Amino acid sequence: MIGLGIESSCDETAIAIVKDGTKCLSNIISSQIEMHAPFHGVVPEIASRAHLEKINFVYEKALAEADCSLREIDYIAVTVKPGLLGSLMMGASFAKSLALVSGLPIVKIDHVEAHLYAPFLEVPRPSYPFLGLLLSGGNSALYLVKGLGELEVIADTMDDACGEAFDKVATSLGLEPAYPGGPVVEKKAKEYKNNENSPLFKPLLKGRNASEIAFSFSGIKTAVIYAHQKGFSVDRICHDFQATVFELIERNLKNASQRTGIKTIVAGGGVLANSSLQNRLAILAQRENIKLICPQNKILCTDNAAMVAVLGYFIYESLGKNSHTKIKELYALDFEVDSKR
């Protein structure tokens, strides 16, 4: 079964072709980073216009790289929530156009859920339930995943998302490029060689309930500004910022695993492209006897259409095993996008 995935929830125009939910035949992404970098963040109007300009080109390239035609596609999976409203509309409109000319069913995809299915292009899908960790520019959350479409929130961000905090720290420290901030902060952090035992921002964690499961990054963002004003080196600030953020993530995972008794964690989102974080999570998994599954290919960590097509496969497969009425619902073209989670 061959699926076509469409992702346009924010500032990446992406289309992918995936076979049987496990083999990626193509995964084309048109990035808008250069357009938004001068503004240190995504400008919705610019994003939606760029999707409109690029999506046909990305579609043609995806089909060419996969060496297939629209006639060989079995379903279209498209992100319909959450995201920027104008950006979501571009992808949804394109999906409806393809469905009108081909008669193919449309599988409506939750972007958040899709991130948790990206790793299954590299490893077999684990049994439900599992814990799902999402760390990106717009989300920091931990879910109990009981099945397809069954995500129970265990922890959510109380203020800034993790990736957003990296962007704001890069901006406040005057790093370039400040958007996205993750790569430049990680690079600066690696330049710090002292590795002192008492990170600058450790008191922020000591002041929290150790058994609490929650994400909060606004306080450390402010603490970074004060540390910079006091003259601490940029490389040390970046190192200690990362160390503190990652320790909070580890604490949340450990507490969630102990509280639920679930030993399988599936992680996704752009922040997982940080190699330092992946290394720390691997050590945590070994120490706590946890099975950690996260994308090894950094492209699958960030927004992409392959993860959309993969989740679309599992949903399409599950509906096919149910009533004919449910499968017919996929052909409806009157669906709407939703900017909210």
Instruction: Give per-residue pLDDT as tens, 196-226.
Output: 666 789 888 877 788 899 999 999 999 999 9
Give the model confidence (pLDDT) of 221-279 as tens digits: 999 999 999 999 999 999 999 999 999 999 999 999 999 999 999 999 999 999 999 99
Beta bridge pairs of residue 265: 131, 292
Give the model confidence (pLDDT) of 20-42 as tens digits: 999 999 999 999 999 999 998 89
Which tokens hold the place of 303?
Answer: 């927004």
Ordered by where they begin, the domains of the chain are 2-117+301-329 (3.30.420.40), 126-294 (3.30.420.40)
Q: How far is CA 258 from CA 41, 251, 253, 266, 289, in A?
A: 37, 11, 9, 16, 11
Which tokens hold the place of 172?
Answer: 């406040």
Q: What distance in Å separates the CA atoms of residue 134 and residue 266, rounded to the nearest whole number? A: 9
3-state secondary structure of 250: helix
Bond before 177 cis per omega within 30 degrees: yes
Beta bridge pairs of residue 27: 16
295's CB contacts (< 8 A; 6+ apart) are 118, 119, 121, 122, 268, 272, 301
| pLDDT beyond 60 at 322 | no
User: What predicted TM-score, i.e. pTM, was given to this entire model?
Assistant: 0.93
The region of weakest confidence among 48-57, 62-71, 208-217 is: 208-217
Tokens 């799902």, residue?
A: 132
Strand-by-strand arrangement of the 130-135 sheet: 150-155, 140-147, 130-135, 264-268, 291-293
Q: What DSSP state is assigned to residue 215?
A: B
